[in-house]
A and B are shown apart, each in its own frame.
Chain A
Amino acid sequence: MRILKALIVKEFYQIFRDPSSILIAFVLPLMLLLIYMYGVNLDTVKIRMGLKIDDPSQQVTTLVDSFKGNKFVTPYVYDNPQKMYADITGSKLRGILVVPNDFSSKLDRNEIATVQVITDGSEANLANYVQNYSKTILSQWLNSTSKYSKKIPPSLITLDSRYWYNQEINSHYFVLPGSLSITMTLIGMLLTALVIAREWERGTMEAILTTKVTRIQIVLGKYIPYFILGMTSMSFSVFLCINVFQIPFRGSLLVLFIFSGLFLFTAMGQGLLISSVLKDQFTASQAALVGGFLPALMLSGLVFPITSMPIPIQWLSSIIPARYFVSCLQSEFMAGTVPEIVIPNCIFLAVLGLILFTAVYSKTNMRLD
């Protein structure tokens, strides 16, 4: 007990004196949350569009006003098409709407009128916005503002949509809690991947091995301090999410801490395993980033929905602990405790964590060869 305590105290001294661990545990989560809160917006985007009106009729002027009045579009009316094409090439515009000179005459004659939408396909996501915005604005104009509105028969079916768990469909509500998985992966994997390797590199391990230290003490001497650091950082992030960024939290803090602890346990297992096998800080950090951090970011369902991935990648994602953590986090925050999600995910994390712990224990060598 005494030896273990000394090892833990030593590790904490090192953590507090190493600016990078404080940076990763407290500054990084704050930065991530700020970026996700104020920088990233998955919901709506304001877009600059060019309008080329070849139809001089009175009706079309009201259409231009509809574009001007829309809060998601900033329209620019062009006379010179060459200038407009140059602007879209120069990324000053995201799309163009061309109203041909027979537009209103066709509508007057009850014929089908056409407008042309040109978008910048190199930004596929924004191109979709251009198309959808144009469609919506045109149909709103047609149905309400224009004189043709009387000609349109009223729709027989209206949709009455409700969004459960996130009524305002605010993406912050699931992205911010999900970003906890990034911080936890970094603390759990990157920091721990460095610590054992560092002891080998600096020769401290060789000196420690010839004292009374046992193998389990070395392993626990690494697990416990970083577990405490990780959970403290987690509490800090949760506090920021709930109290500062006002993300609704509908679940139970106890459950949140239980599965976060389990996730941290598996992430640390990965990190320490990398570290004790590679024994070199540089390679260990590369391995942690490529083998742990990137999958956790890409394949956890935080940024890209898992259901839209190809089947083999979906299988691959099922062995990534972050996936189970993200799904627990998002449901705990938005839907409250859902046993059907929490229990199987926790079992998976616990089993994987124990397997990794055993692997770390058996890979922690008490000899040099």
Chain B
Amino acid sequence: MISSIEIKNLTKKFTDNEPAIDNLTLNIEKGKITGLIGPDGAGKTTLLRLITGLLLPNEGEISTLGFNPTINQKLINAKIGYMPQKFGLYEDLSVIENLNLYAELKEIPQNEKEKIFNKVLTMTDLKPFEARLAGALSGGMKQKLGLACTLLGTPELLLLDEPSVGVDPISRRELIKMVRELATEGMTILWSTAYLDEAHSFDSCVVLNEGKIIYNGLPHDLSETGKGFEQKVIELMGGFNPQPSELAEKFELKEHNVEYVIEALDLTKKYGDFYAVKNNTFHIKKGEIFGLLGPNGAGKSTSFKMMCGLSTPSAGTAKIMEQDILKNPSKARSYLGYMAQKFSLYGDLSVMQNLRFFAGVYGLNIFKRKDKIDQIVEIFHFKKYLNHDAKELPLGYKQRLSLACAVMHNPSVLFLDEPTSGVDPVTRREFWHHIKGLAQKGVTIMVTTHFMDEAEFCDRISLFYQGEAIATGSPTELKNMISPTATMEDAFVGLIERYNEKGVLR
């Protein structure tokens, strides 16, 4: 076996005591796709940065393509493509200008540029958007463009840091396809991901936990199927033993006899001639988990914002607990817990201060506040982070804190906008365990997700595409629309393709 990367006894510590990478030894095989997986804060990003020379190790040795990153960062840079997690596209530059910039920075010969650009733009379907500013692209398109820029100059080694976070299944398939097609003979790829089905399809995988390797080998040796693989990886990470959700048990739902707790009535949002959301109607029963699925930019978040009164619909309205969101916004909102897609707590306040603040603004009884906060701290294991600033928390804990603040006032209705985006598999299980528990208790939940396995947990799903609900039904019903053996992802991709072909879905 020839290795592109050789790492021996590597340790990296930041100022706080726990090492981010702990005495790690690893070889990455040349010409293969290796998946890098592990929970948040396991050290995946740190490892990739150490390999590029962006960070320097405290102890141990790294050899990247035969060079030492501490000394020969420049030589390495000439041969690698690195796509950081928050990829640095220039949002105020157009698609073609971004490509051109990276082509220049990688010194691609002028006469080859046009040919390469054509190939890349065709493959990413970005050709019609050539002149559009990168900032105005949807999440999936941005990632595709980022990947295209990284692939320019055919690097020997490709390092991808979670390129598929927050990307819909269609764009994810396209990203993988792009890598497989553009990756030339012998290109080594190290791909960090939170999607285990993705990792399962790679040649090799490395599971990282607390800076140590807990598995290194073929994904198929762990399990033949994606599902089994996920189960095995979760077990490796310490497993998830479902106890009855404490959050749900302690939840005090206000009794009510409203049948349809959430209703959207011809909800429409129009920007100029463009319909972000078009005539959307649905009714969600008490205790139901209703999933909104769809590609990036399909109008899911816009619908959310209209339904909780953050954005005024161009037409139609929504009702929460029979209260019209346009006529009685504050009354309707009082039933609502909302977890936004972007982290929207106060980053400069500590976890405890955030909890106290939200307990205050939600008007929790002053005598019960302390008990409630203690309860939440215990349920979500916040104890060791209580005095940390919220912005410094690992992603999983940020999301936990957001959920905690959203349910603090025992709302009858929960809106969760991509609650598990970028979160590791164990934390995702824990989240859905809480969500299901709350629904059983009678809380009505509307949720968006890009994880197809999560979609299966929903009672009903509405598939969004280009602002319209193109299919609604239970997960089984949707899958059956494609074929009896279809997976959720097949259904997602298939239904959208069918809509594109026919224009209308029957």
Contact = CB atoms under 8 A, between A and B. Distances in A.
A210 B52 contact: yes
- Residue from A2, A5, A10, A213 whose CB has the most chain B CB atoms within 10 Å: A10
A369 B57 CA distance: 10
A209 interface: yes
Contact of A210 (B14, B54, B90, B97): B54
Contacts of A18: 92
B497 interface: no
Chain A interface secondary structure, helix, strand, loop or mixed?
helix
Interface in B114-162: 133, 149-150
A208 interface: yes
Given A210-B82, A212-B77, A212-B105, A14 B88 contact: no
Nearest to A18: B92
A329 B82 CA distance: 49
Given A2-B107, A3-B104, A367 B55 contact: yes
Interface stretch (A185-193, A197-205, A231-239): A197-205
A212 B55 CA distance: 17
B83 interface: yes
B56 A204 contact: no
Contact of A206 (B53, B73, B88, B91): B88
Given A2-B107, A367-B54, A367-B55, A14 B102 contact: no
Given A367-B55, A369-B55, A5 B92 contact: no
Given A10-B93, A366-B73, A367-B54, A212 B78 contact: yes
A207 B87 contact: yes
Contacts of B102: 211
Contact of B55 (A6, A211, A368): A368
B86 A202 contact: yes
A202 B77 contact: no
A367 B101 CA distance: 21
Contacts of A6: 100-101, 104-105
A18 to B, nearest CB: 7
B92 A14 contact: yes
A42 B112 CA distance: 64
Contact of B105 (A3, A206, A369): A3
Interface in A2-35: 2-3, 5-7, 9-10, 13-14, 17-18
B56 A211 contact: no
A368 B49 contact: yes
Contacts, number: 84
Contact of A204 (B54, B81, B88, B106): B88
Question: What interface size band does chain B fall in?
Answer: 35 or more
B49 A204 contact: no
A204 B90 CA distance: 7
B297 interface: no
B91 A207 contact: no
A57 interface: no
A139 interface: no
B107 A367 contact: no
A365 B78 CA distance: 18
A213 B105 contact: yes
Given A202-B91, A212-B106, A214-B74, A207 B54 contact: no
A189 B87 CA distance: 27
Given A210-B82, A211-B106, A369 B92 contact: no
B89 interface: yes
Given A13-B97, A202-B86, A366-B73, A209 B92 contact: no
Interface in A160-211: 199, 202-211
24 contacts: A2-B107, A3-B104, A6-B101, A10-B101, A13-B97, A18-B92, A199-B88, A202-B91, A203-B84, A204-B88, A207-B150, A208-B88, A208-B105, A210-B80, A210-B81, A211-B102, A211-B106, A212-B105, A214-B74, A367-B53, A367-B56, A368-B54, A369-B55, A369-B56
Given A6-B105, A13-B97, A212-B106, 16 more contacts: A10-B93, A10-B101, A202-B91, A203-B88, A204-B88, A206-B84, A207-B84, A209-B77, A210-B52, A210-B82, A211-B106, A212-B78, A213-B105, A367-B53, A368-B49, A369-B56
5 closest A-B pairs by CB:
A6-B104, A204-B88, A207-B88, A203-B86, A210-B82
Interface of B: 14, 49, 52-56, 73-74, 77-78, 80-93, 97, 100-102, 104-107, 133, 149-150
